[in-house]
Each structure stands twice: as structure tokens, then as C-alpha cells.
Amino acid sequence: MAVRGIEPILLDLDRLEQLAESGYYNPYTMFDWPDAIEPDLPWMSESLTTLAGTPMWDELTREQQIALTKYEAINFFSLNIHGIRELMSEVVMRIHERAYADVSEFLHHFIGEENEHMWFFAQFCLRYGGKLYPAQPSLKADSVEHLSPVAREMIVFARILIFEEIVDYYNAHMATDQSLPAIAREINRVHHQDESRHVAFGRMIFTHLLGQVARRDPDEVPLVAAYLEDYLQYSIATLYNPAAYRDAGIPDALALRRRALEHPARHEAHEQLLKRTRKFLSKAGVGRELIK
């Protein structure tokens, strides 16, 4: 893929590269995989489930609640796997392009770490859940075709950043949740450790590319803001997987999904989940306040 019309990406990544090298670990030997997980333990923090704070959660039996945490953990890790695969393909296509020469070294670390993340998320899902959930339909690619090449390039990295920030919100919470099995806490902890570097990199490259967009065509900035708001809402919606409700033994999965997505308690949870990302986007000059 030839990256055309993009100014060189000049970032000071020495510290992030040093952290990646000094913090290297072997994921294939570091985890202590138990043969099974205790049947009465949740796999996802109950406060992070898609029914948390709603009457629908209270209507479930305790067995259904535990089952929902298990299948929503599988859905969350599956989303990670599919998201990592997508972002890795985008980065691989750019890693040796001239515009990215200055950041190529870090991108090699990035790809290696993301490949390892994909492996241990899949290990958890297949060992304990026996399945991955399929990838969900993405936003249509033609929704950004009207934008300039540099704006489309920025959106690629914006999607990666948003994905990583949402995931990291969950990881940071579950890494310290003592109600979860040790293996679930450890996977979330390790991923959070790596994602802190990836988020820092993502914010740097996003800001750099947004600056190019603003200088070349300021009228595109509100259009970018509208797309990013759509992507935030899309990302939230993927957490509400009716297949997970069905697997947990909850009837009327599609209707339940609609009720949950519309509930005020879930809207408040979404705002909390996206608070850090929205603050960053607003500060960068591409927040939802620009949308007409």
C-alpha cells in the first residue's frame, strides 16, 4: 500500500521503545493456565456487564448472572481478537512506507505485542469457553470515502486508538477485581500494561495526522468528528451481543439487547466508559461538540 499525500510522521518514541524492550515477556510461558475455572466465579466484573445497573440484571437468577459474565467475557475477548487482527493488518501495510519511517521501529514492537495479545485472548476463550464469537459487521468503508487521503489515514489510527482506549478501560478494572479467577485478572493486567504504551503512541500519531488535516482542509474536521462519534457508538454496541445472552440462557435476546441499550443506567455507564476518550478528542479539537 502506498501512503500518498501524508507528511512524514515525526514522533519522539525513544521512551516508548525503551519501555517495550525493558518490559518484554514471553506470553507462551508466563501464564499459569488452570485446567478449569471454579464454576461459581464470574469471568467479567459484574459491574461491567451490559445489564449492570438495570432491572434486567436483577431479574436474572444467580446462575444466569454468572453465565452472563462468562459469555460476555468471551465476547469481550473475541472483540479484542478481531480488533487486533484488523489493526495489525492496517499497521503491517504501513510499517515500511516512507511516511512512517520514523515510527517503524516502534510499529515492529506494536505488531509483536498485539500478536501475542491475540494469542492469549484466544487461549482463554478456547480453553474455558470452547468458542470465539464471530466478528461483527464494521462501519461501512465508504462512509469515509469522501474525505481526503490524510483524513482517511487519520481515521485508521483513530479507530485503533478508540478500540484500545475502550478495551483498556475494561482491562484496568478487571486486573484488580478480586472476585475474578486469577487467570482472568492476569490476562487483563498484562494487556493493560502493554496498552498504556499503545494508547500513548496512538494519541501521538492521531494528533500529528489531525494537525495535517486541520492545516490542509479545516472544513473536514467536523466531518471527522461526526465519523468518530459514530465509531464510538458502534464500538459500544458491539459489547451487547445477543448471542452471549442466548448462551447464558436468557430468552428474547434481541429484545433484551434493545432494552439494555436504551436504558438510562447504561447510557450513564457508556458516558463513564468514554469519558477519557471524549476528553482527549475535545482537547484535540475534534470532539462531538463540533457535530452539527
pLDDT computed for residue 1 by the predictor:
47
φ, ψ of residue 137 in degrees (nearest 5): -55, 135
Q: Identify whether 6 is part of a domain.
A: no
Secondary structure of 202-270 in HEC code, one letter for each residue:
HHHHHHHHHHHHHHHCCCHHHHHHHHHHHHHHHHHHHCCCHHHHHHCCCCCHHHHHHHHHHCHHHHHHH
Q: Identify whether 52 is part of a domain.
A: no
**pLDDT surpasses 90 at 261:** yes
Q: Which residues contact 38 (CB under 8 A, 6 or more apart)?
A: 181
Q: Identify whether 215 is part of a domain.
A: yes
CATH code of the domain covering residue 258: 1.10.620.20
Number of domains, the chain: 1
Percent over 90 (pLDDT), the chain: 71
Instruction: Label residue 27 by pLDDT band (50, 70, 90).
Output: confident
Q: What is the pLDDT of residues 136-182, one digit of tens each?
A: 887 654 578 889 989 999 999 999 999 999 999 999 999 999 999 99
pLDDT computed for residue 136 by the predictor:
82
Q: What is the pLDDT of residues 187-234, one digit of tens each?
A: 999 999 888 888 988 999 999 999 999 999 999 999 999 999 999 999
Select the more confidently predicted residue: 76 or 196.
76
Q: Identify whether 49 is part of a domain.
A: no
Range of the domain at 201: 61-290
The CA–CA distances, whole Å, from 72 to 78, 106, 213, 223 equal 9, 32, 38, 33
Q: Identify whether 40 is part of a domain.
A: no
Q: Identify whether 157 is part of a domain.
A: yes
The owner of cell 521512551 is 15
Q: What is the pLDDT of residues 263-291, one digit of tens each?
A: 999 999 999 999 999 999 999 999 998 88
Contacts of 48-55 with C-beta under 8 Å, sequence gap 24+, read 48/170, 48/173, 48/174, 50/239, 50/240, 50/260, 50/266, 51/256, 51/260, 52/265, 52/269, 53/263, 53/265, 53/266, 53/268, 53/269, 54/259, 54/260, 54/263, 54/265, 54/266
